[in-house]
């Protein structure tokens, strides 16, 4: 806490120090989105088989609780940007913000129970352009990859899954668009617009893979067999995943 010499000498800063503590607590308190345990469009296309398995397993009664996500400023700032965009785009002809979407089902087989419906909230949809939009607030590492033509696998599947959600509602979907907002950018000219044609087969692929993980690994209590993606941030900050047996992956 930065204090002037006068405040240090008077001791009058204690109430302000208590306020600073309160602000930190309010900011870092878990939000509804932090407590979500069901898989959604943002994670169904995660290239890490093990993380997808852990998310799916969290819905099983008595399953271990996934490791808690620590508070981080980056997603907190991203949430604020999303709220601001909702205000900025409000009133635009043919625009929808934060539409809750049913995107499909993960079904059981061979006597296994169904996982159930997969839902998500799309950031935006523009009916005149028949385009689903997702805002992404990103740092320098992601920007460097984008400029080298490397786009996130999870992001690609996410926007196609949102496209499937709007298609299931009966809306036309021609394009899916990620708008990357540089966290350290200077102005709107630094935005990167990453657009693809809508491809429902990518949503199908994501659901087919999740169905395999659910039935062959979660329902058979073999999530520990699933291999971590080498670049997975969540797995790499814990103990490295051992490898061994072959399945969808080689985690033993």
**Rounded mean pLDDT for each run of 10 residues along the chain, 252 residues in total:** 61 72 86 70 95 92 69 88 95 96 97 96 97 96 89 95 98 98 93 96 97 97 92 70 43 38
Tell me the CATH number of domain 31-236, given options 3.90.320.10, 3.30.390.30, 3.40.50.1970, 3.40.718.10.
3.90.320.10
Q: Give me the pLDDT at residue 11, please.
A: 60
Q: Where are the domains of the chain?
A: 1-30, 31-236
Q: How far apart are CA 138 and CA 144, in angstroms?
A: 10
- Burial bucket for residue 224 (CB in 10 Å: 0-12, 13-18, 19+): middle
The answer to whether 89 and 95 are in contact (CB under 8 A) is yes
CB 192 within 8 A of CB 146: yes
Q: What pLDDT, on the 0 to 100 scale, is given for residue 8?
A: 61
Quote the pLDDT of residue 18.
Answer: 80
- Region for 91 from its dihedrals, namely left if φ exceeds 0, alpha if ψ lies in -120 to 50, beta otherwise: left
- pLDDT score recorded for residue 242: 42
| pLDDT score for 246 | 39
pLDDT value for 129:
97
Q: Phi/psi zone of residue 228: left (φ > 0), alpha (ψ -120 to 50 degrees), beta?
A: beta
């Amino acid at each position: 806490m930065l204090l002037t010499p006068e405040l240090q000498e008077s001791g009058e800063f204690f109430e302000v120090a208590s306020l600073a503590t309160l602000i930190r607590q309010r900011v870092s308190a878990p939000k509804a989105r932090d407590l979500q345990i069901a898989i959604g469009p943002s994670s169904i296309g995660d290239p890490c088989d093990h993380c997808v398995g852990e998310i799916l397993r969290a819905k099983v009664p008595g399953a271990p609780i996934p490791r808690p996500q620590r508070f981080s400023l980056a997603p907190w700032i991203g949430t604020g940007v999303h709220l601001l965009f909702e205000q900025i785009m409000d009133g635009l002809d043919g625009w929808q913000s934060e539409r809750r979407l049913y995107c499909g089902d993960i079904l059981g087989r061979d006597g296994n129970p169904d996982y159930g419906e997969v839902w998500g909230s799309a950031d935006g949809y523009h009916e005149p352009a028949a385009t689903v939009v997702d805002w992404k607030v990103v740092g320098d590492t992601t920007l460097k990859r984008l400029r080298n033509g490397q786009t996130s696998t999870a992001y690609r599947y996410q926007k196609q899954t949102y496209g499937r959600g709007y298609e299931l509602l009966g809306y036309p979907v021609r394009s899916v668009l990620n708008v990357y907002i540089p966290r350290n950018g200077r102005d709107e000219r630094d935005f990167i617009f990453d657009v693809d044609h809508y491809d429902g087969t990518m949503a199908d692929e994501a659901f087919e893979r999740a169905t395999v993980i659910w039935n062959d690994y979660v329902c058979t209590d073999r999530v520990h067999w699933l291999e971590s993606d080498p670049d997975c941030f969540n797995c790499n900050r814990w103990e490295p995943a051992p490898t061994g047996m072959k399945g969808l992956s080689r985690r033993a």
